[in-house]
Chains A and B, each alone.
Chain A
Amino acid sequence: MPASGSDLVKGDKPASTFDWAKVLLNGALPLAGVVIALAIAGIFLALLKTDPMTAYAAMVNGALGSTFGLTMTLVKATPLLLVGLGICIAFRANVINIGAEGQIIMGALAGAVVPISMPNAPGWFLITAACVAGFASGALWGFIPGILKAKMRVNEILSTIMMNAIALQFMNFLLQGPLMDPENIKRGTFLAQSARIPQQAWLPRLVPQTLLHAGLILAILLAIVVYIFLWRTTIGYEIRAVGLSPDASRYSGISVPFNVALSLTLAGGFAGLAGVVEVIGVQHRLMDGLTSGYGFTGIVAALLGGLHPLGLIPASIFFGGLLVGADKMQRAVQIPSALVTAILGMIVLLVSGAGIWARRWSAKRLAGGRRTAGGGRSAGSGRSAGSGPTAGGERATEAH
């Protein structure tokens, strides 16, 4: 571990006791953002002559009111959690990955092609191979903007958005051509979807008669793995160091371009895995509209989860519920589920705006708690503020 590592440990000791301020920052501010966003959306609903209380009641009822609703909430939380893990890793390196939509598509492509091309292989092999191939192709879709940012300073937000559009058109091309379901062509329906994947490649169901599948367990295990990776391994430490202060990292011999490219590659891999899980766990084929906006919702979940793999678990379940509830609301009060996209946007605006209080708080505590080493104050300001709404607070309470 580089020399600056000992600084981190030394400086962090005073905050290692249970920290109410941290709980407030990481929990209360985002929750307040959600409540305010829902309230503003309620005003819009009232203007559209729909009773917000009826609409929200339908939403809660849809997400939590039945076994079907509850399991669907978890089904939708699964890809959100996987996507969000990647977003967290990238954010920790101060890289914003908006490309999850495209990375999901690339992962789903591999997750469908592998089982379809080997219909007689055993199930354990197909599931493993699909996951590996999907992770790899998602990772490739993250690596391209990653290397472009690392080597040529290409803005990753713009390049990943373009990669989304390219992946979408690539999938359309395949679904209207080489990958189109032969059954479909025979019947003359020409739907934009692939053939079904062989049944032995389907992920096992956790609850019979529902869509809840083993992908959820995989996602939760991976959340723990990512937590260990980021906070207990050297490479994870380097990724976070690059995000907090590229200059300090450079001085202590950490390669900034390498870690920037790596973080986007890993982010792509996790989003790719979300695509695989969606294919082998839920849809059992590749089809148009498979991503359902998970790539964008995953960003919001990551922000709400405090950019922390474990905080992401409750956040993903919350947004899974929001998506399921929105479908129910659409049927109950005829309010299009696009409302959720607008609510998500407001949450992002509110949470990113609320970051100022998180940073002020942590700066105050840094100043009050102890005299900090040179790097301490700068972590709360300037560029590192960009590593997310909780980055400032995180720096002060690194050791837990």
Chain B
Amino acid sequence: MKGMLSLNVLTGILNSMIALATPFLYAAIGETFAQSAGVVNLGVDGIMLLAGFAAFFVALTTGNLWLGLLAAIGVGILMGLVMSLVSVTLKAEQGVSGIGLYMFGLGMSSLLFKVLIGTVKTIEGFKPVSIPFLSQIPYLGPILFHNSVLVYGAFLLVPLSWVILEKTSLGLKIKAVGQNPAAADSLGISVVGIRYFAVCLGSALAGVAGASLSISLLNLFQDNLTSGQGFIAVALVYFGGWSPLGVLAGSLLFSAVNSIQLWMQVLGVNLPASVAVMLPYILTILALMLSSNRARQPAALNKPFDRSEN
């Protein structure tokens, strides 16, 4: 227990907290776009899995990490198109179609992994890049300014998505479509078009989230690599009150718990591993309970839009 308090351990915890927040941030901010437009995409975890596999496979075979990232984005957009087709055009119950997308991603990534790769291999993923001067700041510098490109990208995405959602006409359209699709429709905004765009953007970001696991954080692929992180990301959107800043707070909270949990195992704290692994899932349920104040929830969330009904 003495080791718990040492500065090195604290730095280690903070370091992995920043890194572990990355997939949550990409996936949850992506989901924020989709939900702001009124579509709950529960397939995030499946997208992360298949895109994470694609990134890993392409990086492994071509040796080019950027091509891998591109492949992940491509897979994300394709799966987003499927989700949009089923949930927006065909107006399926979003909870059900999302689970279908998840199962497809889970099964397909496992199938392709076993056929095309076979055993767990590791690659050299994105390396940490030090930002000049800032990384020299004592203690905080190495934690905040010595990370991989995808980590910086995730944290830059927070203000960027906030500006898009709050300060641009595109963001206004997205939110209008999620709040009152009939009114948006009567103003000439294409409800279907905006929802397709928001779902595909969200899915592309879910793809990056998967890639951040397979070619930046863990640098490997295995069956069910995400172990439900995509679902936690969806929960974070509720927790964050459909705002990128709320999502940031939630992601940091979750990655802090994850990182403390990992370090407890490293330090051999006397807690069974399975109990420690349980913590983030219990925390997710608690977070969902705390976020039951739904004042900010998009009014048309989960509701397919049908012109003939209005």
Contacts and interface: CB of A to CB of B under 8 A. Distances in A.
B60 interface: no
Contacts of B110: 336, 338, 341
A155 B288 contact: yes
B154 interface: no
A174 B85 CA distance: 44
Interface string A345-357: 1111100111110
Contacts of A220: none
A172 B42 contact: no
B235 interface: yes
B277 interface: yes
B303 A347 contact: no
A376 B281 CA distance: 41
Contacts of A157: 42, 95, 98-99
Interface stretch (A122-130, A158-166, A312-320): A158-166
A209 to B, nearest CB: 33
Interface string B133-151: 0000000000000000000
Chain A CB within 10 Å — which of B101, B105, B274 has the most?
A: B274
Chain B CB within 10 Å — which of A148, A300, A336, A349 has the most?
A: A349
Contact of A343 (B82, B107, B115, B294): B107
B166 interface: no
Interface stretch (A183-191, A249-257, A382-390): A382-390
A154 B97 contact: no
B156 interface: no
A335 interface: yes
Given A162-B284, A335-B111, A96 B96 contact: yes
B231 A154 contact: no
Contact of A356 (B91, B105, B231): B91
B196 to A, nearest CB: 15
Contact of A340 (B90, B107, B272): B107
A162 B231 contact: yes
A1 interface: no
Contacts of B309: 381-382
Given A157-B42, A165-B281, A170-B274, A345 B101 contact: yes
A312 to B, nearest CB: 16
Interface in B60-112: 82, 85-86, 90-93, 95-108, 110-111
A349 B103 CA distance: 10
Contacts of B234: 158
B99 A98 contact: yes
A299 B99 contact: yes
Interface in B150-201: none
Contacts of A346: 100, 104
B119 to A, nearest CB: 13
A348 B284 CA distance: 26
A148 B287 CA distance: 12
B124 interface: no
Interface in B3-49: 42, 46
A152 interface: yes
Contacts of A349: 82, 86, 92, 97, 100-101, 104
A3 interface: no
B1 interface: no
B268 interface: no
Contact of B103 (A96, A152, A296): A296
Interface string B281-302: 1101100110010100000001
A4 B86 CA distance: 34
Contacts of B92: 349, 352-353, 355-356
B127 interface: no
A382 B289 CA distance: 26
Contact of B93 (A155, A172, A344, A355): A355
A339 B107 CA distance: 6
Contacts of A283: none
Contacts of B96: 96, 303, 348, 352, 388
B128 interface: no
A169 interface: yes
Contacts of B98: 157
B86 A352 contact: yes
B111 A96 contact: no
B289 A342 contact: no
Contacts of A348: 96-97, 99-100, 103
A382 B303 contact: yes
A341 B107 contact: yes
B294 A153 contact: yes
Chain B CB within 10 Å — which of A177, A348, A356, A385 has the most?
A: A348
Nearest to B234: A158
A159 B302 CA distance: 17
B272 A342 contact: no
A342 B111 contact: yes
15 contacts: A96-B99, A152-B289, A154-B289, A173-B274, A176-B272, A296-B103, A336-B110, A336-B111, A336-B114, A338-B108, A338-B110, A338-B111, A338-B223, A339-B107, A341-B104
**Which 8 A-B pairs rank lowest in CB-CB distance, beginning with the nearest?**
A341-B107, A348-B100, A345-B104, A342-B107, A345-B103, A338-B110, A352-B92, A349-B100
